[in-house]
Structure 1
């Protein structure tokens, strides 16, 4: 086993949102297999009921785990391509007997590794969605990059950038709610700070989540705090706004224009939190079976499509749903969700366990998927776009929580 990390430390991407507190407890953030490995190293397991920040998760768990794995983890090693040795994706002949090749770029140059299997757990944090309401950057968005960020602001390190300014927050997910809470608090402390919340959907609806009905208490509390911030008078909410263009005025401030011609003007800073998407460019020479909408594995996509499962319920799944036509290639973790939201670490841990079991030849363990994921407490939302009332809650996806045991059948010829 070899772990290739593009960053210079364990949890490099997590460290980029080190100031954000997770809404999962420590007990839901430590993988059982990792805990067993760390147990022999003198590792002090954090208190299970507390909620770490990104910095704490990286420093107290991911770094010790990488240390325990030793030289099986290589830092500063960016994967730039995966292929079948001597075969591009078009060639059938001899494909089944050739190993995979992993093209890696390091500070010393490039190298090529051979592998029996490749697990892509690179996530999506490096590929944020743009402000543009059609999935592409709005006209002028790239030219205005100095005033736009695609991360939850760190208001300790960047306070002066936002204090006393007119700030637009675009997005409706948990990252956007986190930013609203933080910026709302800043507005209370710093006169002149104005927050404009842009929603693409036509009404606020279920954006704030399930509150006390959410089985992740901190997630429910985040929604309630965001609702309080939005109603406190510091936040102007604009619904049905899908950005088409960003204009820079003579004073350097921005104006946003929607596809319907509506405008939000006098903007100093824009915080774009409209989700993420997978970078599939370096997988172009392997054969993937991806859903045309979500860019997630085709068998997984129906389980996580926000157009259908507006309550965020995800059924247990494993190696069968993550398998691709290219043997030995898997997308796991957040990248397996493609453009779908609401991913939990618990899901990724179970995915990895099932996939590794299949690679090791233990197909019984790979097919044994038992996982209980917490409900959001929200049913019948409009998904990612406005929907007629009669279409809402049609999926029936918010049943009472229960332990689900699923036996996943093997494909014909699997060994």
Structure 2
């Protein structure tokens, strides 16, 4: 199989970085991207500003690949998603040339001549990767290894509090969006009522964008529905966050609530979405209803698409749907303050030899992924594929603490007096522009 490529699924930040590492190690990559250009998912949230600075958003092997062509890395500031693509990811994809294939959606991965049940000589067979293009044409290719960096962006969680679409949610689809609003395109929200559902970084950013729209468009109303009571970690880590712009993000949302620009509804778990006179009415599990909304922005997280891996032998955590050894380090039910360790090839390996889930997909449903985490993952995975097990086992990254309380503690109550799981409540962050995630988005 040495003459076969290593297939990388997804031409996002981690997929392209994996290709750069493979080339550096003398292995041939083939990156398969379902979109029509590099980092197609990032481009869909291009107006959102990341809370990671430029030096944290550029992979080392990618830098080494690009610099001989005269490219120079941006060194300061916090890019938007569009800037991340234009100034780094698109040049990286161009440098990889025809090793990146677009309009190539992976519909299945298996072993040549072996379904999931067959043990005999399984690891000696190449992977078969089944593809579908936009016109529905099917094809198949073979690979020596598969790195799945397909992310979770196209699998947003529903508004329904039990993890399933709320009653009426599908019928109300035209009134719902899982995209962060863009103040440069205010038409859908200006002078109207918007309900935001969710309590993470994407929701913080949505609140900021909507309040900016409200400042210049009278009559704009914003309701923010979260599932828990207000506690020390509701608005993020503030000054306790070692990524200061991430800390500032939540504090801006807090200020919007304190000022009255946003109505915060707590303990609201959506059970039903009724469509009435062209508007959406959210009904909680306790029978409460929210005022009719022109748009509902559902930002309740993401989940991985495992459907095309159905013939692969996987060892995933039953809660997070992440590789089991990774899940032990990132489970928000355990890690109350977001202290997450770097993960490498040994943590990401599956019972299916030479198959690795990396990037956002490796975190399953957990919300704490950073771009830096993914770059360390692909460095380690590629070293393992190249047979450099010493380098694969080495940890070359120390991650910052989020300072954000997660799921530990009582689900239905705020953290205990005195700050609960994170100690005293975070101080107000200094004023500054709201920034967001390098994870896509809730990301980086």
> Is 1:298 aligned with 2:324?
yes
- Provide the rounded CA distance (Å) in 1 between the counterparts of 2:229 and 2:398: 33
Give the aligned partner of residue 164 of structure 2. Answer: 136
Q: 1:281 aligns with which of 297, 304, 307?
A: 307
Q: Decide which moves more: 380-389 or 136-145.
A: 380-389
Consecutive unaligned residues of structure 1, counting only runs of 5 or more, are: 396-415
Give the aligned partner of residue 221 of structure 2. Answer: 194
Mapping 1:243-322, distance limit 5 Å: 243-249=270-276, 251-322=277-348
Aligned length: 392
- Provide the rounded CA distance (Å) in 2 between the counterparts of 1:63 and 1:218: 25
Q: TM-score, normalised by structure 1?
A: 0.91
Structure 1 residue 374: deviation in Å? 1.4
Change (3 A) 1:320 1:383: farther
Q: Decide which moves more: 4-13 or 198-207.
A: 198-207
Structure 1 residue 70: deviation in Å? 1.1
Structure 1 residue matching 2:69: 3-state secondary structure: coil
Structure 1 residue 213: deviation in Å? 2.3
Mapping 1:4-403, distance limit 5 Å: 4-46=32-74, 48-107=75-134, 109-157=137-185, 159-249=186-276, 251-379=277-405, 382=408, 385-386=411-412, 393=421
Structure 1 residue 382: deviation in Å? 4.6
- Note if contact 1:205-1:381 (Cα within 8 Å) is conserved in structure 2: no
Q: Decide which moves more: 31-40 or 90-99.
A: 90-99
Change (3 A) 1:376 1:383: farther
Structure 1 residue 361: deviation in Å? 0.6
Runs of 4+ in 1 over 3 A off after TM superposition: 378-392
Structure 1 residue 217: deviation in Å? 1.5
Consecutive unaligned residues of structure 2, counting only runs of 5 or more, are: 1-28, 424-444
Deviations 1:181-214 (A, max 9, x none): 1111222222211111100112254121121221
Give the aligned partner of residue 412 of structure 1. Answer: none
Structure 1 residue 130: deviation in Å? 0.3
Change (3 A) 1:114 1:370: same
- Provide the rounded CA distance (Å) in 2 between the counterparts of 1:145 and 1:323: 38
Change (3 A) 1:276 1:261: same
Structure 1 residue matching 2:203: 3-state secondary structure: helix
- Note if contact 1:206-1:381 (Cα within 8 Å) is conserved in structure 2: no
- Provide the rounded CA distance (Å) in 1 between the counterparts of 2:84 and 2:47: 11
- Provide the rounded CA distance (Å) in 1 between the counterparts of 2:94 and 2:220: 44
Change (3 A) 1:31 1:246: same
Deviations 1:43-95 (A, max 9, x none): 1311x221000000011100000111111111111111000111111111221
- Provide the rounded CA distance (Å) in 1 between the counterparts of 2:192 and 2:409: 32
Change (3 A) 1:68 1:363: same
Root-mean-square deviation (CA, aligned residues, Å) is: 1.9
- Note if contact 2:230-2:414 (Cα within 8 Å) is conserved in structure 1: no
Change (3 A) 1:380 1:178: closer
Structure 2 residue matching 1:14: 3-state secondary structure: helix
Deviations 1:79-125 (A, max 9, x none): 11000111111111221221111111125722111111100000000
Bigger RCO (CA 8 Å, 6+ sep): 2
- Provide the rounded CA distance (Å) in 1 between the counterparts of 2:347 and 2:141: 27
